[in-house]
Amino acid sequence: MLEFNNVSMAIGKHPLTQNLSLQLQPGQLHVIIGPNGTGKTSLLRALFGELPLQQGAITFQDNSLVDLGASQWRQQFGYMPQNTQLELDLSVLEVVVLGRLQNLKLHLSDDDLRAALSALQNLGIAHLADRPLHSLSGGQRQMVLFAQVLLRDPQIMMLDEPVSALDLQHQMHLMEHLHQQTRAKNWVTLVVLHDLNLAAQFADQLIVLADGHLQAFGPPADVLTSELITRLYQVPVDIHSDRDGLPYIRTLRQAC
């Protein structure tokens, strides 16, 4: 179990999420939602040990960052940050193999290469393997960085807006793959999304952040009410139920 115990965060003097207590279970996909600038990225950075806590503790399986030290703590993570600007002169296959960096010896093993190729194949982007990373579109890069993070085979998987540049097909492919692997590998998965319908379809648990506090935590059908969404985003919405009984959100236009 990954546990936040009364955690408060700040950047300099600017307070972010305060008094956050959460228990996240392995095998569950958690989606973080909330308006721009509410501290979603900062929450992931704090969990990764990049942003010191103001107060409280984060523990995973009874170890804390302080117990393990940053380098051992981070070995448990796969982390795909938001808007990574990589102008590397490397091929796609090379970038994906870097996901195994901690395990790389002086030369690549056949196993490392096989794993990288298989990740590319599973995501339907094996045809990009020899292309230089800098020649790809934003969406293609996002899929490549997802393949890279899969190779880490972590215990805690964090993805910050991983579908922001993806077309519908690739959004669904990435989220289905993440959902299936979260179950199969028993990851604690945290994903930041802005698309509430995608969040409703794939989240086991939603983490709703706004105004420096946890606003709600639970399954989408319990959490996503029109009151909550309008309060968060100041946009009126209707909520319908889709064929699986999951909430489906329709934004409503307002007369100008």
Ligand X SMILES: Nc1ncnc2c1ncn2[C@@H]1O[C@H](COP(=O)(O)OP(=O)(O)O)[C@@H](O)[C@H]1O
What is the binding site for ligand X (CB under 6 A)?
A: 11, 14, 16, 34, 36-42
Residue closer to ligand X (CB basis): 51 or 178: 51
148 binds Mg ion (CB under 5 A): no
Half-sphere exposure of 29 (CA within 13 A, CB side): 24
Comparing CB distances to ligand X, the nearer of 42 and 140 is 42
Q: Does 17 bind Mg ion (CB under 5 A)?
A: no
We find the least distance from the C-beta atom of residue 44 to ligand X, in angstroms, to be 8
58 binds, among ligand X, Mg ion, none (CB under 5 to 8 A by kind): none
Comparison of 14 and 243: residue with beta carbon closer to ligand X: 14
* In the complex, minimum distance from the CB of residue 196 to ligand X, in angstroms, rounded to a whole number: 15
Member of 17, 38, 41, 182 binding Mg ion (CB under 5 A): 41
Let me know: does 1 contact 23? Beta carbons within 8 Å. Answer: yes
Only segment of 3-11, 14-22, 40-48, 117-125 that touches Mg ion (CB under 5 A):
40-48
Give least dist CB 215 to ligand X, A: 13
Amino acid at 217: F
| Contacts for 237 with CB less than 8 Å, ≥ 6 apart | 226, 229, 230, 249, 250, 251, 252
User: Would you say the C-alpha torsion 127, 184, 23, 51 has a positive or negative sign?
Assistant: negative
Nearer to ligand X (CB atom), residue 1 or residue 11: 11
CA 249 to chain centre: 21
**Alpha carbon 120 to its chain's center:** 19
Q: And the tokens for 41?
A: 């990225």
Nearer to ligand X, 37 or 245 (CB): 37
Q: How far is the CB of 109 from ligand X (least distance, A)?
A: 37
- Tell how strand 28-33 and strand 14-15 pair up: unpaired
* Strands 20-24 and 213-218, sheet pairing: unpaired
Q: Specify the stretch interacting with Mg ion by CB under 5 A; choose among 4-12, 26-34, 39-47, 242-250.
A: 39-47
Q: In 10 A of CB 252, how many CB atoms?
A: 10
Q: Which two tokens stand for residue 134?
A: 């800098």
* Rg (the chain; Cα; Å): 19
CB of 217 to ligand X, least distance (A): 16
Stretch that binds Mg ion, among 33-41, 119-127, 148-156, 199-207 (CB under 5 A): 33-41
Binding residues (CB under 5 A) for Mg ion: these are: 40-41, 82
